[in-house]
Amino acid sequence: MTEVNPYKMAIKQIDVVAPYLDVDEGILEKLRYPRRELTVHCPVKMDDGSLKVFKGYRVTHNDTRGPAKGGLRYHPSVDLDEVKALAMWMTWKAAVVNIPYGGAKGGVKCNPPEMSQAELEKVTRRFTWEIAPLIGPESDILAPDVYTNPQVMAWIMDTYSMLKGYSVPGVVTGKPLELGGSVGRFEATGKGVLIAVQKVAEHLKLSIKGARVVVQGCGNVGGTSARYFSRAGARVIAISDSKGGLYNSQGLDIERTLDCKSRYKCLMTEKVEAEVISNKDLLELECDILVPAALGNQITAENAPRLKCRLVAEGANGPTEPEADEILVDKGIFVLPDILANAGGVTVSYFEWVQNLQELLWTEEDVSDRLHKIMTTAVADVMKISRERKVPMRTAAYILGVGRVAKATQLRGLYP
How far apart CA 274 and CA 236 sit, in angstroms, is: 12
Local structure of 271: helix, strand or coil? coil
Q: Decide if 305 contacts 154 (C-beta within 8 A).
A: no
Q: Kindly give, in sequence order, each residue whose CB lies less than 8 Å from that of residue 241, ignoring residues fewer than 6 positions away.
A: 217, 218, 219, 261, 266, 267
Residue among 69, 93, 105, 175 flagged as catalytic:
105
Q: Where are the alpha helices (DSSP H) in 241-363?
A: 254-264, 279-283, 322-331, 338-341, 344-358
CA distances from 74 to 104, 112, 114, 127 (A): 15, 7, 12, 11
- Between β-strands 235-241 and 212-216, what pairing exists: parallel, antiparallel or unpaired? parallel
Q: Which residues contact 381 (CB under 8 A, 6 or more apart)?
A: 96, 400
How many Cα neighbours within 13 Å face the side chain of 352?
Answer: 33
3-state SS track over 310-341:
CEEECCCCCCECHHHHHHHHHHCCEEECHHHH
Establish whether 105 is a catalytic residue. yes
Instruction: Answer yes or no: are the C-beta atoms of 88 and 8 closer than 8 Å.
Output: no
For the annotated catalytic residues, the residue numbers are 105
